[in-house]
Amino acid sequence: MTTISPAAVDAVQDWLQGQRALRGAAENTLTAYRADLIEFLAFQTRHKGAAQGIGPLTRLSLSDMRAWMAQARSAGTGSRSLARKLSAVKSFYRWLAEREGFDPTPVLSARAPKFQPRLPRPLAEDAARAMIDTAGHQHDTPWIAARDAAVLTLLYGCGLRISEALGLTGRDLPLREVLRILGKGGKERLVPVLPVARQAVADYVHLCPHPMEPDAPVFRGARGGALNPRLVQKTMERARMQLGLPPSATPHALRHSFATHLLGAGGDLRAIQELLGHASLSTTQGYTAVDTARLMEVYDRAHPKA
């Protein structure tokens, strides 16, 4: 068992607290950061043959960084995951260097492996509509069938994350034309709600046997508790099998579809960024690559080649 210096662990905790307080980082993000940094510290402890306190950590070399990255790759860590881990280490070291007053250049100069950005995989417009329609006819209990259709309509019609849709409470009812959503990192955004989405939720609420108290979740499981995201995923799994759609047709793919179809209809990239709640425009720009790729597919199929 590798023993990590308590001082180093405390430093990691202090940095994570700063990420939470100053940057509003989500808990899942903080958990991933902590795991990446503990893994890094454990490797350096083994690599150096002793627990690495603050002093030794300030003296890490580029060679030490390369050794860690080589070990991670040999253990099967992919380029994308390693780039994420390295980003966490560098962020931590920038903070640590400012606090301890040392030069972090050897750590910061470690280069992330190159990887091909993973493009969003949206559904075609007719497939997205068919998915919602199919999901809304799967269950014999009318209120559950209406619930499933309402959740998927919100994902596609408003671009919500599944956690955001399932986070709605009775206070949000009846849905208005604009919905205030609390997204990742506690960031608020305003999302327009299409009439079809408002109607789908209203139909479900009318049929639902459970009372819609202000603090209670809107979407309920069969016994009245909060709806488990896994049940939404299973609903889409069954629907995509019925429709012959690929495994990429997931609840999150409906959010991708919302953004891609808006962009294809001439939507402004900055506006789509705001609607999705992306912190960085570069994340939203991934949808332009999808739109371009589809345009080229149409071109290849339709252009009369010589």
Catalytic residue among 85, 161, 240, 256: 161
**CA–CA separation, 191 and 271 (whole Å):** 11
Is the dihedral angle over the CA atoms 277, 280, 285, 290 positive or is it negative?
negative
Known active-site residue 256: no
Percent of the chain as helix, strand, coil, to the nearest 5 = 65, 5, 30
**CA–CA separation, 19 and 45 (whole Å):** 25
Known active-site residue 206: no
Catalytic residue among 80, 121, 252, 294: 252
Known active-site residue 305: no
Catalytic residue among 121, 184, 189, 210: 184
Known active-site residue 85: no
Q: Is residue 269 within 8 Å of 285, Cβ to Cβ?
A: yes
Known active-site residue 278: yes
Catalytic residue among 220, 255, 256, 261: 255
Q: Count how many Cα atoms sit within 13 Å of the Cα of residue 20 in the half-sphere of its side chain.
A: 13
Closest CA to 64 of 100, 110, 98, 3: 110
Known active-site residue 184: yes
Cα distances from 104 to residues 57, 70, 94, 98, in angstroms, run 10, 20, 7, 9
Q: Which residues have a catalytic role annotated?
A: 161, 184, 252, 255, 278, 287
